[in-house]
A and B are shown apart, each in its own frame.
Chain A
């Protein structure tokens, strides 16, 4: 039996979830900026935007977080581990590309070492995704073999109804089912015609790109220098990206006591690969841009069998010099393998 969540019941749902101890998070727009943020009622949610400026990533992998506190005494070293405080959360109105991004990064954070910071938050969070009925020029999920209604990474998928009254509920995981059991009496049995999902034209031939990237001689191609000439080497693309996951450890304090933190880092920065000697194996911006593309579409899939890109388009949408994954892969797909 299919069930429907009506828009006018959403405020009750938010209240119910909050009462059950869940932090409710969703897309919020504040003046000139949008992100996924905690809300107290449904009116704070903006479910009409294409997607928030910032991705969902920071909710699982914050831009900075403490890992441990150290105190060094004469004969002793005192270490206190931090773990994120337990917090049950529900993200209502995630975009499919954001939700898939988290699933793409799961194998990375669980591979040789299980990152408890990531998995604790993953396990404590229910992702309720709404299928997209509109897209912009930068959306490219379909080029990555995903879709505006991909269920990857989601605990519940909501499919918008044609009359805009609400959503068809599709529970995908136990976590999702538990959260929706809380609001079972607010749902309505039955089915109504679904709105058509967004049309997102394919922008490039991914397989052709991957074939080109895998050819070792193309690593030294002059293509890299040409395509990245205007890249200014900021971290806007990597930090906004739901799947980029590089980090750095920093000790804040002094020799005797302080906090070790885990901070976002970016392959766009020259400092990222700078050796203590001053030598930099990725000395130019083109080498750094090549790394970003190679990592996402060659090395990452080589190891985890999935591309490290969900096609959200943020890297292109927000690049200060109008670059991004799209342009590069479009150019690669026209090159001779």
Chain B
């Protein structure tokens, strides 16, 4: 049986046994290479499930849809390791009760899809630990390497050009499972703390605010980067911040459901290089 068929059967079992009330997965999109989120509530709806190497979107953000988990029933969800990490963060930051989530784990590497064993987020902890151990020392991304080689002035000019075309559609925020604030700081308008104008300065403000709020929380799923309609390479910013946080605090986001948020916790041996 293909992975898709195995998981279809699994989704049907979960639904017909009443174990979960819904499975969040993927279905065909408007073109052959596109996949859409699929909300499966009956075993029949599971027939349209697709699971292949094109299923790369991180679906975990849908778990905190208002009201979805408030009846305390369980929900199944297809997640790659990045998705499991973001699920851990949502739990660690008290956004959901992780006991209600049944994970249907899989991974996609070099266009190959593999099934992952486990059903609770914690079943994937060994895998996530090994991901942390294997974080590459160098970026391994030609564009990021180019940016790293720039001096501060050139780097500023690079991002200025990129951000100048931002239209403040907030697709990056809406697509990001970690951007769950019911009222984002840029939407707080009594008073308006951050200007809404999408001029270059305003775009800088927005993207810098977001970079900070994602530091030590981004799991590198790429949802933001793929969502950006003007193709700003957003993932690079968060990847860079993740790298910094790992180096400074040995923090790899989403290790477990009890991991403390790096910027909201304090350890006596935290590196401290600029205050005193």
Known: A64-B202, A230-B37. A33 touches B165 (CB 8 A): yes
CA distance in complex: A271, B174 (Å): 13
Known: A232-B175, A321-B37. A266 touches B169 (CB 8 A): yes
Interface of B is mostly: loop
Of A168-176, A235-243, A293-301, which stretch is located at the interface? A235-243
Contacts of B57 in A (CB 8 A): 321
CA distance in complex: A240, B227 (Å): 13
Q: How many residues of B contact A (CB 8 A)?
A: 37
Contacts of B36 in A (CB 8 A): 230, 321-323
A54 at the interface (CB under 8 A from B): yes
Contacts of A322 in B (CB 8 A): 29-30, 34-36
Chain A residue at minimum C-beta to C-beta distance from B190: A276
Nearest CB of A to B194, in Å: 11
A261 at the interface (CB under 8 A from B): yes
A250 at the interface (CB under 8 A from B): yes
Contact yes or no, B197 A64, CB < 8 A: yes
Which positions 194-242 of chain B face chain A at CB distance < 8 Å? 195-199, 202, 223, 226-227, 229-231
Contacts of B29 in A (CB 8 A): 322
A194 at the interface (CB under 8 A from B): no
Most central of B62, B171, B189, B202 by chain A CB within 10 Å = B171
Contact yes or no, A264 B175, CB < 8 A: no
Nearest CB of A to B227, in Å: 4
Binding site for A on B (CB under 8 A): 29-31, 34-37, 39, 57, 61-62, 66, 165, 167-171, 173-175, 187, 189-190, 192, 195-199, 202, 223, 226-227, 229-231
Closest A-B pairs by Cβ, 3 of them: A320-B227, A234-B171, A235-B169
Contact yes or no, A32 B231, CB < 8 A: yes
CA distance in complex: A63, B192 (Å): 18
CA distance in complex: A98, B239 (Å): 37
A35 at the interface (CB under 8 A from B): yes
Contact yes or no, A248 B196, CB < 8 A: yes
Interface string of A217-239 (1 = CB under 8 A from B): 00000000000011011111011
Chain A residue at minimum C-beta to C-beta distance from B62: A230
Chain B residue at minimum C-beta to C-beta distance from A330: B30
Contacts of B170 in A (CB 8 A): 234-235, 269
Known: A234-B174, A252-B197. A137 touches B31 (CB 8 A): yes
Further 5 A-B residue pairs, CB within 8 A, beyond A53-B230, A320-B223, A327-B30: A63-B167, A236-B227, A321-B36, A321-B175, A322-B29
A273 at the interface (CB under 8 A from B): no
CA distance in complex: A320, B198 (Å): 20
CA distance in complex: A320, B61 (Å): 13
Contact yes or no, A138 B229, CB < 8 A: no
Contact yes or no, A236 B202, CB < 8 A: no
